[in-house]
Structure 1
Amino acid sequence: MTTPTPAQAAPTVPAVPTAVPVLVGKARPGQLRAAVAAVLTADPGSLYSVSDLVAALGNSGGAIGNACDTLVTRGEAELAGTGPRRYKANAATTAAAVAAVVSPRGTAASSRPRAPRPPAPVPGPAEAAAPAPSTPVPTTPLTPAPAPANGPIRRPNGAVYYPRRLAGGISDVEGLRKLRAAGVPALLYGPPGTGKTSMAEAAFPDLITVAGDGDTTVGDLIGEWTQKADGGYQFAYGPVVTAMLQGRALLIDDATLISPKVLAAMYPAMDGRRQITVKAHQGETVTAADGFYVIAGHNPGVHGAILTEALSSRFSTQIRVETDYDLCRRLGIDKGAVTVAKNLAVLVAAGDLGWAPQLRELIAFQKIADVLGTATAFANLVGIAPEEDRDQVADIVAKTCGRRVTALALGKQI
């Protein structure tokens, strides 16, 4: 976080609580954006990078970067600098923060009900000829230039991505950029935690990310009516329309967890028409600007993830993404942990096991090992394996470590 200088005087904003609230449980649509606004308003004179906000809220850099861009688009925050991007509060940020379902750190809640959607205003005779007012979306977003495709690339959360080779000799990042230029949508598939989202973030600095799940609605993707500070309603475009109007890349992460009926609302934007009809906004027709591009992420085998024929047919390029064990060693991850992961992956490929740790789990392993020791990290690795696979995972760990390891648990009093 940057210490404000006299030139960065804070705008006048209402008083905010001294403790920065954080989201409890799974964020609903708009909640992460409101939580980011809450952090900005808690210290309105400071500039926050995406990494600062990741440290404060714990969400992924892609999701938080998307929330920040949406706040700027809606006029509810300011982009104060690039390289890295830094954001600050403005006079409208406090109102944007009140929509979050938040709780002080250390409290817990199992779930929160989704707030009812406000009814769309009924247009009068004079309004019937044109769509009702909507939140304006700038058509020329401020985004950094793409980094070279063959070297390390810094992602929005500050982590470094190392490009990998595709068939044909080019890097994965260069391949995605060429596909975008040709208008060929790409589907990235593979086990969770292998780097699909990281790959897309590295390829496209203008990326908008949507985290899909079974509760995702058409309104979450296309747009919906939202209540303004003055009590009125305004139509706010969703990430799909925003990406279309600004000609940006759009990642639908976990796309196969979203209902096919919901995804169908954006299919016309992905074919030759490059248009969608926003039914909730009086049938407005939106045409995609040059540069608009769709990528999707799919985790085969995850409960509820269904790759329908309709969805698959819209992605001419489908790239399998697996853990790069050479990269794991390059990142300094314990050699024994990498060996365990590779051996487990062989069993998974043979159909003899259902789970193997991927890049995400191996990075977490090393962080735990650095803090609590390698033995504890291996015990945790056994513990996070699905219960039906845990014994086999423990066997492989024992062969590598030379001793039996059980799942991480509390023992007797010290």
Structure 2
Amino acid sequence: MARMLADRPADPLTIGEISKALGHSHGAVQQAVTTLVRRGEADQLGAGKQFRANGKTAAAAQAAVISPPGTHSPRAQAAMARMTPPAATTPKQPGPIRRAGGQLYHPRELADLPDVEALNRLRDADVPVLLYGPPGTGKTSLVEAAFPDLITVAGDGDTTVGDLIGDYTLDDSGGYVWQYGPLVTAMTEGRALLIDDATLISPKVLASMYPAMDGRRQIQVKAHKGETVQAKQGFFVVAGHNPGVHGAVLTEALASRFSVQIQVGTDYDLALALKIDARVVRVARNLARQVELGELGWAPQLRELLSYQKAEAVLGTKAALGNLVGIAPLEDRDAVAAAVSKIAGVQQVAPLTLGRQLSASAAQQPPGSTSSAQRGRSR
């Protein structure tokens, strides 16, 4: 950041401009530029919304720590690509992004952009996003890959206003202390907030966060002395919605808060690229078409296909196919079993089920050994 300011010594830059150029979150940029100002290595102008290099900035840039390759956010990688002269060869597609938990996310196309870059641009423009689609299609994975500073709320019918904004909790001494919730934390730290399964939350509870999402960008915490909390730059809301899930209701009030709504489905080509059994991918495609036609209510998504791959590696193909049938909803199970039998060519596929009890003597024998009774019969 110091290097960027030093390269543009006459330009007063806002947090948003710096964030967009470097590809980092608003919160991270805010913390870094505050550190520079505190150390006297950059100047804060006017009301504090703009920053500019001073006589010490260039020296600070020389000592800057550069993150090793692969640790930059998607926006940082895009910014670096824009600053790098084009190579003679065809540009490569963006590679997998490692999420906070260590899992890899494979970017997909959205509006002629990598999806992670599109989400970051929407964040820069402060355009809230609703992602909708069946469970297991990668909605949460996409948001985690796009925003390393993400805070996630897992919504359900029991989510309360206190779960979002904060509540009083018992401390070690037995007294009550106020603890801010994820919404306030995201607002005060300028971070991205994912409300997962937002449509399972009561509309009255969701209404508590609407003032933070509109032009006011603030909320009043009535339970804590009527405190007013103002959102910092970088605060951004993304919501997830699973249509068809029991209890999931996308109200007009909620939908109107999200200017951009993106459908997320399973990328079956990616499933093949991940070396999932091509026969099982064909089964999933076939079932997905039936779901689109209204003939069926369920089809395996990428999450189920990845689970199939893991089960196959441990238990074998037949057991993994049985498990795939078994995780289907009861009303769709026969159709799934029929599709597996027809396309995968495996007859009598049944849900993975425990069989007869093994005898104690048989269970204690090492693999490949023969019991005394069996030896007697062999004679």
Q: 1:408 aligned to 2:335? A: no
TM-superposed CA distance for 1:228, in Å, is: 1.2
TM-superposed CA distance for 1:404, in Å, is: 2.6
The aligned counterpart of 2:196 is 253
2:103 counterpart (155, 159, 174): 159
**Counterpart-to-counterpart distance in 2, 1:172 and 1:342:** 22
Say if 2:187 and 2:231, in contact at 8 Å, map to a contact too. yes
Q: How does 1:137-286 map to 2 (within 5 A)?
A: 145-147=72-74, 148=77, 150-167=94-111, 169-286=112-229
Q: What do residues 206-232 of structure 1 show as CA deviations (whole Å, max 9, x unaligned)?
A: 000000000000000000001111222
**Counterpart-to-counterpart distance in 2, 1:157 and 1:336:** 30
**Letter in structure 2 aligned against 1:219:** G
Q: 1:339 aligned to 2:266? A: no
**Counterpart-to-counterpart distance in 2, 1:324 and 1:178:** 23
**Letter in structure 2 aligned against 1:262:** V
SS in structure 2 of the partner of residue 229 of structure 1: coil
Q: How does 1:79-94 map to 2 (within 5 A)?
A: none
Say if 2:195 and 2:239, in contact at 8 Å, map to a contact too. yes
The aligned counterpart of 1:359 is 302
**Counterpart-to-counterpart distance in 1, 2:344 and 2:249:** 38
SS in structure 2 of the partner of residue 216 of structure 1: coil
**Counterpart-to-counterpart distance in 2, 1:233 and 1:224:** 10
Say if 1:217 and 1:262, in contact at 8 Å, map to a contact too. yes
The aligned counterpart of 2:369 is none
**Counterpart-to-counterpart distance in 2, 1:348 and 1:188:** 19
The aligned counterpart of 1:7 is none
**Letter in structure 2 aligned against 1:388:** E
**Counterpart-to-counterpart distance in 2, 1:386 and 1:214:** 21
Q: What do residues 103-151 of structure 1 show as CA deviations (whole Å, max 9, x unaligned)?
A: xxxxxxxxxxxxxxxxxxxxxxxxxxxxxxxxxxxxxxxx975133632
**Letter in structure 1 aligned against 2:106:** Y
**Letter in structure 2 aligned against 1:289:** K
The aligned counterpart of 1:391 is 334
Q: What do residues 181-200 of structure 1 show as CA deviations (whole Å, max 9, x unaligned)?
A: 00000000000000000000
Q: CA RMSD in A?
A: 1.3
TM-score, normalised by the number of residues in structure 1? 0.64
**Counterpart-to-counterpart distance in 1, 2:306 and 2:197:** 21
1:300 counterpart (223, 232, 243): 243
TM-superposed CA distance for 1:176, in Å, is: 0.3
**Counterpart-to-counterpart distance in 2, 1:331 and 1:238:** 38
Q: What do residues 237-275 of structure 1 show as CA deviations (whole Å, max 9, x unaligned)?
A: 000000000000000000000000000000000000000
TM-superposed CA distance for 1:234, in Å, is: 1.2
TM-superposed CA distance for 1:412, in Å, is: 2.9
**Counterpart-to-counterpart distance in 2, 1:145 and 1:216:** 34
SS in structure 1 of the partner of residue 304 of structure 2: helix
SS in structure 1 of the partner of residue 272 of structure 2: helix
Say if 1:397 and 1:404, in contact at 8 Å, map to a contact too. no
Q: How does 1:120-131 map to 2 (within 5 A)?
A: none
**Counterpart-to-counterpart distance in 1, 2:162 and 2:252:** 23
**Counterpart-to-counterpart distance in 2, 1:395 and 1:230:** 61
2:322 counterpart (376, 379, 385): 379
Say if 2:280 and 2:344, in contact at 8 Å, map to a contact too. no
**Letter in structure 2 aligned against 1:183:** D
**Letter in structure 2 aligned against 1:146:** S
Report how many residues are paired.
271
**Counterpart-to-counterpart distance in 2, 1:289 and 1:333:** 43
**Letter in structure 2 aligned against 1:155:** R
TM-score, normalised by the number of residues in structure 2? 0.70
**Counterpart-to-counterpart distance in 2, 1:246 and 1:204:** 14
The aligned counterpart of 2:266 is 323
SS in structure 1 of the partner of residue 298 of structure 2: coil
Unaligned ranges ≥5, structure 1: 1-142
4+ long deviations beyond 3 Å: none
Q: What do residues 262-319 of structure 1 show as CA deviations (whole Å, max 9, x unaligned)?
A: 0000000000000000011011000000000000000000000000000000000000
Say if 1:145 and 1:205, in contact at 8 Å, map to a contact too. no
The aligned counterpart of 1:32 is none
**Counterpart-to-counterpart distance in 2, 1:231 and 1:362:** 48
The structure in which a higher percent of residues are helix is 2
The aligned counterpart of 1:83 is none
Q: What do residues 333-385 of structure 1 show as CA deviations (whole Å, max 9, x unaligned)?
A: 11111111011000000100000010111111000000000110000111111
**Letter in structure 2 aligned against 1:176:** L
Say if 2:161 and 2:205, in contact at 8 Å, map to a contact too. yes
Say if 2:283 and 2:344, in contact at 8 Å, map to a contact too. no
SS in structure 2 of the partner of residue 281 of structure 1: coil
**Counterpart-to-counterpart distance in 1, 2:354 and 2:104:** 35
Unaligned ranges ≥5, structure 2: 1-66, 79-93, 359-379
SS in structure 2 of the partner of residue 295 of structure 1: strand
Say if 2:164 and 2:182, in contact at 8 Å, map to a contact too. yes
**Letter in structure 1 aligned against 2:101:** N
The aligned counterpart of 2:55 is none
Whose radius of gyration is greater, 1 or 2?
A: 2
Sequence identity percentage: 68
